[in-house]
Every structure is written in C-alpha cells, then in structure tokens.
C-alpha cells in the first residue's frame, strides 16, 4: 500500500499451523530488520486505492502488471510519469503476484492521458502492461484504454473461428473484439 501522501506499508500474509507461522514471521522480521507481527490484516487490506461513489470510481484507475524483479522500475516510472499531476499516484496490490492498481486524479484528463502513454512506452522495463480500468470520458477519448496488446491477431483468429458472425459482446474487448 503506497498512499498518495507518500506514506506506505508492506504487509505479508503468512498462513499455516500457528507455531510454524510464528516462527516464519519472526524469521521474516529478522531478515527485514523491521516489522511487526500481528494477527489481523491492515485496514487497507483487500480494498481499492481509489475513491468510489455509488459503486463507480471517482479517480482514474490503472491496472499495472509487472514481473517481481520489475517492481522498482514500475514504481520509479510511475513517479516520473505522473510528476506533473496534482497528487502522487496511490498504489495498492500484490507485488508478489505482479498485479497492482493505481489511482490518478480524474480532473486532469490531458495530463493523465499523457502520463499513461509515457508509462506504456516504458513498460518493457518492468515486463508488464498498463490498462485503464476506469476513467472519465475525457480521459478515455484521449487514449486507448487497453494499450498495446500482445497476441491480438491470435485473439482475432480465435474470435473468427468460434464467433464468425461476431455476435457475442461485439466490440467490447481489446482491439474492438
């Protein structure tokens, strides 16, 4: 959890037999040189880093994927590419799985679109992708929410084979599939 105010926290879930978990927790704290052992998850655990109103996001929501070793590159690029925005990106997710979500201000459509495009240009540094999950119409109209997609031609051939009339969810997926 990396908040927009610059603060953050890393939480690790350890599961198993109590004695084994306690031992692993103490070993992890010793290896890191800091940390606490607690039995409950932090308040932010399992929640989104963006605000919601009536079930809809109030911010621009990005899905960021990365290989584990690429996480520092992703976070550095996110900071650099969003430096001109009114606030820092809030980021939350599972670094070990390589899936993070970021929240950007929705009231700066041109600057957010520029930031997303700049992030995509650098995404090969962390072996990942940048997808806009939710955004105001002004942001969506300024860029492709999916971004570059590997395997698009293969997806088109599969769609053509199994849905030759293109009746199922026409145009709702990446590349107009």
pLDDT digits (tens, 9 = 90+) for 133-157: 998 888 888 888 888 877 888 989 9
How far apart are the C-alpha atoms of 88 and 145, rounded to whole Å?
21
Paired tokens of 43 = 């308040």
Q: Is the pTM of this model over 0.75?
A: yes
Output the pLDDT for position 54. Answer: 63
pLDDT at 48: 81
DSSP annotation of 68 reads G
From the CB of residue 89, how many other CB atoms can be counted at a distance below 10 Å?
26
DSSP category for residue 130? E
Look at residue 55 in the predicted model and tell me its pLDDT: 62
């Amino acid at each position: 959890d990396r908040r927009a105010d610059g603060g953050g926290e890393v939480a690790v879930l350890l599961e198993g037999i109590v004695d084994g978990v306690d031992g692993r927790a103490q070993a992890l704290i010793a290896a890191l040189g800091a940390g606490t052992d607690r039995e409950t998850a932090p308040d932010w655990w399992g929640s989104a880093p963006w605000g919601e109103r009536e079930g809809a996001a109030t911010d621009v929501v990005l899905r960021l994927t990365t290989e584990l070793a690429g996480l520092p590159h992703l976070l550095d690029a996110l900071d650099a590419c969003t430096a001109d925005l009114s606030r820092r990106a809030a980021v939350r997710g599972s670094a070990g799985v390589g899936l993070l979500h970021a929240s950007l201000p929705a009231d700066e459509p041109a600057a957010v679109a520029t930031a997303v495009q700049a992030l995509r240009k650098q995404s090969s540094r962390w072996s990942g992708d940048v997808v806009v999950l939710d955004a105001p119409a002004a942001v969506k109209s300024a860029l492709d929410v999916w971004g570059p997609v590997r395997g698009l031609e293969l997806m088109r051939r599969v769609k053509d084979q199994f849905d030759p009339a293109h009746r199922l969810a026409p145009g709702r997926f990446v590349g107009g599939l």
